[in-house]
Amino acid sequence: MTIVENPTITVTGGIDTHSEFHVAAAVDTNGGVLGVETFDTTTHGYRELVAWLAGFGTIRLVGVEGTGSYGAGVCRHLVGKGIAVVEVDRPNRQARHRAGKTDSIDAIAAARAALTGTATGVPKSRTGKIEAIRVIMVARRSAGDEWISIINQMRHLVFCAPDEIRARFLDLSPIKLARTCATLRPRRSDDDIVRFTTLSTLRELGRRALFVREQKDRLSAEMRPLINEFAPALIEMKGVGYDTAAKLLIAAGDNPHRIRSEAAWAHLCGVAPIPASSGKTQRHRLNRGGNRQANSAIYRIMLTRMANDERTRNYIARRSSDGKTMGEIARMLKRYIAREVYKTLPTTI
């Protein structure tokens, strides 16, 4: 059926994203469904999607699920066409339980969430240096995880090995263990096949561990100039290293208008105080939501300052004398650190 564009109608779109196709829905200003259609996750499919929405009228807004994963491509395409996009959370569990679950239902729910203002989050643009840092961090994090996994495997083999091998390698540090094992040259012996296979396996694991470590170092060397250039004030903060700075920058994103205020940044990092009062007890607790990577970065900064910053130790002592628990003090410290970090972010300029 041919759709004739009606410029008098304002259209709000919703997209339920998948790896190979997206399901799009269009609703009018009253939330009435104008149509539901499926499109491929290709540039041609994105063009068809935009043309399909425009066929109903003037596109006001599009709500997209998963703008950081399956929806990243269509989000970039829509923004490139000058169409406003908001990030939509997955549908409410209770509403989904009552109404059922299909891709069409999810797409319509995304459109209505954008229309009613339930969804207001601005997606990351993913077009600048912070996106480059994020890409590096993905590989760097996996390299670090693999290093730990390999070292644990080597320690297990050493612990279960014959006494001679166990005594030789048991107390070595991780890097010395990897370097020592990588240089092994075991000789095959029919009399003790277990000794030979254990040493040869340790050699292969040691070489693999060194390769992963060198790869992580190369990625770190590639990432550090980007952070130094993009956020020099952040890296100069006490307790902030390149790893924590990268996590905080990735949480912020490339587009400066995404974070509306310092309070919004605290909520994004999961450090905004949550009321937990009851009766005569008036208190706040730690936030369990938000971006957990950014939250862990702020937590690491807090631990570093607790160990090495005299000002932080004095603050803890003063609050402890006021009757505050360590959990409450940690909540306040994380909130203060988030405020300090926000002032150094390039997105605030």
Cα gap 47→44, rounded to integer Å: 5
Cα gap 153→73, rounded to integer Å: 39
- Which residues fall within 8 angstroms of residue 290, CB to CB, at 6 or more apart? 267, 268, 269, 270, 271, 272
Task: Look up the domain containing 212 and give its range.
Answer: 129-230
Q: What's the residue count for the chain?
A: 349
Which residue, 207, 219, 218, 31, is CA-closest to 133? Answer: 219
For residues 1 and 104, which has the higher predicted lDDT (pLDDT)? 104
Task: Kindly state whether residues 285 and 316 are assigned to the same domain.
Answer: yes
Domain annotation covers residue 5? no
Instruction: Count Cα neighbours of 179 within 13 Å in the Cβ-side half-sphere.
Output: 6
Cα gap 346→344, rounded to integer Å: 6
- Which residues fall within 8 angstroms of residue 329, CB to CB, at 6 or more apart? 315, 316, 319, 320
**The pairing of beta strand 58-65 with beta strand 10-17:** parallel
Domain annotation covers residue 3? no
Q: Are 43 and 146 within 8 A, CB to CB?
A: no
Q: Count the helix, strand and coil residues of the chain and give each as a percent rounded to the nearest 5.
A: 60, 10, 30
Q: In the prediction, which pLDDT does 88 show?
A: 92
Mean pLDDT of 116-139: 90
Name the helix (H) or strand (E) containing 155: helix 129-160
Task: Kindly state whether residues 243 and 226 are assigned to the same domain.
Answer: no
pLDDT tens, position by position, 3-39: 545 667 899 999 999 999 999 999 999 999 999 999 9
- Which residues fall within 8 angstroms of residue 64, CB to CB, at 6 or more apart? 14, 15, 17, 71, 74, 75, 78, 85, 86, 87, 88, 110, 123
Task: Kindly state whether residues 245 and 226 are assigned to the same domain.
Answer: no
Q: In the prediction, which pLDDT does 349 show?
A: 43
Mean pLDDT of 312-323: 93
Cα dist from 179 to 32, 183, 189, 344, whole Å: 66, 7, 24, 40
Among the candidates 230, 249, 264, a domain finishes at: 230
Task: Kindly state whether residues 34 and 70 are assigned to the same domain.
Answer: yes
- State how many domains the chain has: 3
**Region at 117 (left for phi over 0; alpha for psi -120 to 50; beta for the rest):** left
Domain annotation covers residue 4? no
Domain annotation covers residue 78? yes
Distance of CA 94 to the CA centre of its chain: 26
**Band (104; pLDDT cuts 50, 70, 90):** very high
Task: Kindly state whether residues 241 and 221 are assigned to the same domain.
Answer: no
Task: Kindly state whether residues 284 and 308 are assigned to the same domain.
Answer: yes
Domain annotation covers residue 123? no
Say which CATH number the domain at 18 has: 3.30.420.40
Task: Kindly state whether residues 248 and 344 are assigned to the same domain.
Answer: yes
**Band (92; pLDDT cuts 50, 70, 90):** low
The answer to whether residue 1 scores a pLDDT higher than 70 is: no
